[in-house]
């Protein structure tokens, strides 16, 4: 989180008399329970907690890096993961990895084990409605 977002988070928490992480948790819960719209949640979350998409991207990039995927390939792999997630959502239980997508990942230098990791990660992320 950048310094300005951190200060904003602390400011909001101070105003509410609660700790900064609690603000973020309450906003997430309110969105899940339908108390506020997803759009309002995104606005409020960004103002109070920073960009949650950025944090998620960092965690995904970290997982890919731990799987041995080279740093300079992570952005391209994440783009391909998005395609896999879209495919998973469209095909559901009938999902089979498109050979062209597999070829793209192989062309990036990924091993079969790394491709399986990327597909598994995409499956977990595709099940999340907020991504």
User: What is the rounded CA–CA span in Å between residue 20 and residue 36?
Assistant: 19
Q: Above 70 in pLDDT, residue 52?
A: no
Q: What phi-psi label fits residue 85: left (phi over 0), alpha (psi between -120 and 50 degrees) or beta?
A: alpha
User: What is the rounded CA–CA span in Å between residue 10 and residue 5?
Assistant: 9
Q: 27 and 48 in contact (C-beta within 8 Å)?
A: yes
**pLDDT tens string 99-116:** 999 999 999 999 999 999
- Report the pLDDT value the prediction gives residue 98, as an integer from 0 to 100: 92
Q: How much is the pTM?
A: 0.60
pLDDT more than 70, % of the chain: 70
**pLDDT tens string 69-100:** 999 999 999 999 999 999 998 998 899 999 99
**Nearest Cα residue to 67 out of 121, 24, 108:** 121
63 CB-near residues (< 8 Å, 6+ apart):
121
- Report the pLDDT value the prediction gives residue 72, as an integer from 0 to 100: 93
Domains of the chain by residue range: 3-50, 54-126
**pLDDT tens string 1-28:** 444 444 454 455 455 555 556 666 777 7
Could you tell me the two tokens for 21?
A: 């992480």
Could you tell me the two tokens for 106?
A: 């192989």
User: What is the rounded CA–CA span in Å between residue 120 and residue 75?
Assistant: 17
């Amino acid at each position: 989180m950048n310094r300005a977002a951190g200060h904003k988070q602390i400011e909001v928490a101070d105003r509410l008399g609660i700790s900064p992480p609690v603000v973020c948790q309450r906003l997430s819960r309110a969105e899940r329970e339908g108390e506020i719209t997803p759009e309002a949640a995104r606005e409020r979350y960004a103002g109070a907690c920073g960009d949650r998409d950025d944090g998620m991207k960092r965690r995904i990039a970290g997982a890919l890096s731990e799987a041995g995927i080279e740093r300079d390939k992570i952005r391209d792999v994440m783009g391909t993961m998005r395609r896999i997630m879209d495919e998973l959502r469209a095909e559901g239980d009938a999902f089979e990895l498109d050979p062209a997508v597999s070829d793209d990942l192989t062309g990036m230098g990924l091993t079969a084990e790394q491709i399986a990791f990327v597909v598994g990660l995409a499956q977990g992320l595709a099940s999340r409605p907020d991504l």
